[in-house]
Amino acid sequence: MFDFVRNHTKIMMFVMFLLIIPAFVLVGVDGYKGMGSTGATVAKVGSQKITQTEWDDAHKREVDRMRASMPGLDVKFFDTPQARYATLERLVRDRVLTDAIQNTHLSTTDARLARELQQNPTIAALRKPDGSLDMERYRQLAASIGLTPEGLEEQVRSDISMRQLESGVVGTAFATKAVTDVVMKALFEKREVQMVRFKPADFATKVNVSDADLEAYYKDNAANFQAPESANIEYVVLDLESIKKTITLNESDLKTYYEQNAQRYSGKEERRASHILLNASKDAPAADREKAKARAQALLEQVRKAPQSFADVARKNSQDTGSAPNGGDLDFFGRGAMVKPFEDAVFSMKKGEVSNVVESEFGYHIIQLTDIKVPKQSSFEELRPGMEAELKTQQAQRKYAELAEVFTNSVYEQSDSLKPVAERLKLEIKTASNVQRTATPQGAGVIGNAKLLTALFFADSLEKKNNTEAVEIAANQLASARIVQYTPARTLPLAEVRSSVRDRLNAKRSAELALKEGKEKLAAWKAAPATASLPASVVVARDQTQALQGTALDAVLRADTSTLPAWVGVDQGDAGYLVVKINQVLPRPASADLKSKQERAQFAQWFASAENQAYYNLLKDRAKVQMKIDAPAKEAPTTGL
């Protein structure tokens, strides 16, 4: 199909023209957009679909958000099946809660939204000295998470409504003292035990394995001795670094850039001033403002007669409690740090000069300019390395947008080789061996990217060895790869894995002997406890896991202790068998009153969280949520002995 499209491009364009134009006429542009495919469905909430594209976009936003909040964090930590699936679960949860909000007719008013935005410290930092919001920086903040300002506000509105919905459950959940005491007692109960471990290693010398045994085990477990499919590949990457290598800076452009940015590189001028403030807010009565202004005028005449007394006058008369004890000193500051009337006055004065009375939103100021710090302007040659790097990055970013389309089209139109796109864009063709369908711990960078590997092992790339589509593997980074040599999965011959087969069979039979011996001893000791030879007793509990943990600890703490001593046998698989004699149940000692209150508060939070999760599960059932993607396997928990 793809070959036909490539070989008959003009015919296909004509056919598409005939099909698309009537569609626009019938349903309009917006309607046609709504009909477009956005990828496979990965989940459903009622009749609503969540597509692969939505999932990918949401995960990219999540990674970008984490990168912005923790710049030093390795984002590969989030490029795992588990992290991606967690993003899908959050998408589903948001969709479920949004439906519940609509069904319960909850809404967030404009006033509530405004309060939320005003209380947000990130947004508060975007305010100008005059208190107004810097809209350009606000738009940049929204764009950094892939939203418009309107979209950001709608998301905040939705978050408020979700909190309101969940608070109806969390805020009304409570756990009685009796329930809390019962749970805490069971949770922190201690048991005095004696343990004997039957380890497979202790039985290894009793195992005899023949060649016939090895062959039989190998035949029955052939799936455990397979070499996974792999491929030798070649790939190209278009990114800012590769584009920078093609950029040659013009000397005149570099000098122009220096002239335009020399002041920025050198730093901004700073000024130091002292002031005397007479408070008078804008909403104060006119008579009070006139009184403050007259007082300021009188103080101005006083300091002009004796400028050296400015600090003393400020200490005695200024109503700025922060600077008055320091003689009105405000230290050094640059433009943008003070309200505009104050700033305009300071940056128009000469050193040592005293201003006229300056009116601002805070009242009336008398200002003395005490110092000027003029930054040293660096020379062109001093700044050349930094300017070259900066200018190359800027030009590379602009050029990337142009070349990304060229890259995408080239790897598709000339799909049997990466050489044309490499020569056209001056890219290096790199190679990698033994690349597998799923990223391995050794796989890093480009060849460890899950999206690229999926495209690489897709049927078209696998069978025809065509280029993959252009895959965005990171911000401003596109890659395409092709298989040079493919090796399908195969069962390794016994001769190659004989040692591994022997080790596995020895371990299996050693574990079987340990299990058998352990069960026999358990039965014998139950029948005749006096014959048991046991080590010294230890105390085990959920908050004391040094001696016992994992499934073994669970088995001991769940054992019936109505009759003591009690005996427990725990099959630990490859780790062998554990026999435990429970001698005593040690009740939890009474907690101090403060600690008891803290524990009840903690349990109340657990209880509320469980109630909230149960409510969400109910909403999921009502919404008939369907996950079309299987959850990735979690790492197996460590089984303690």
Residues 94-128: tens digit of each pLDDT? 898 888 888 888 888 888 888 888 788 778 777 77
**What is the per-residue burial (b if ≥16 Cβ within 10 Å, else e) of 549-581?**
bbbbbebbbebebeeebbebbbbbeebbbbbbb
Nearest Cα residue to 637 out of 555, 548, 551, 543? 551
State how far the Cα of 326 lies from the Cα of 328, in Å rounded to an integer: 5
> Which pLDDT score, from 0 to 100, does residue 118 have?
79
Sign of CA dihedral 624, 625, 628, 631: negative
State how far the Cα of 124 lies from the Cα of 236, in Å rounded to an integer: 44
In the block, residue with structure tokens 């903040």: 141
Nearest Cα residue to 296 out of 312, 282, 275, 281? 275
Predicted TM-score (pTM) of this structure:
0.47
Does residue 469 contact residue 480 with C-beta atoms inside 8 Å?
yes
> Which pLDDT score, from 0 to 100, does residue 258 have?
74
> Which pLDDT score, from 0 to 100, does residue 453 have?
87
State how far the Cα of 495 lies from the Cα of 505, in Å rounded to an integer: 15
> Which pLDDT score, from 0 to 100, does residue 600 have?
77
Bridge partners, 491 (sequence order):
226
Give the DSSP H or E segment for 191: strand 190-198
Q: What are phi and psi of 601, to 5 degrees?
A: -65, -40
> Which pLDDT score, from 0 to 100, does residue 502 have?
94
Residues of the chain with pLDDT under 70: 1-39, 67-79, 129-131, 144-146, 262-267, 439-444, 545, 590-596, 633-641
Dihedral over alpha carbons 93, 94, 96, 100 (to 10 degrees): 130
Q: What are phi and psi of 611, to 5 degrees?
A: -60, -45
Bridge partners, 582 (sequence order):
193, 566
Bridge partners, 44 (sequence order):
49, 626
State how far the Cα of 302 lies from the Cα of 226, in Å rounded to an integer: 95
Does residue 414 contact residue 420 with C-beta atoms inside 8 Å?
yes
Q: Which two tokens stand for residue 29?
A: 């542009």
> Which pLDDT score, from 0 to 100, does residue 70 have?
64
> Which pLDDT score, from 0 to 100, does residue 75 have?
57
Preceding amide of 285 cis, omega within 30: no
Dihedral over alpha carbons 16, 19, 21, 25 (to 10 degrees): -160
State how far the Cα of 498 lies from the Cα of 504, in Å rounded to an integer: 10
pLDDT single digits (tens) 547-587? 788 888 888 888 988 899 999 999 999 899 999 999 999 87
State how far the Cα of 50 lies from the Cα of 57, in Å rounded to an integer: 11
Bridge partners, 332 (sequence order):
272
In the block, residue with structure tokens 């033994």: 434
> Which pLDDT score, from 0 to 100, does residue 275 have?
96
Sequence-separated (6 or more) residues with CB below 8 Å from residue 117: 123, 153, 156
State how far the Cα of 388 lies from the Cα of 250, in Å rounded to an integer: 10
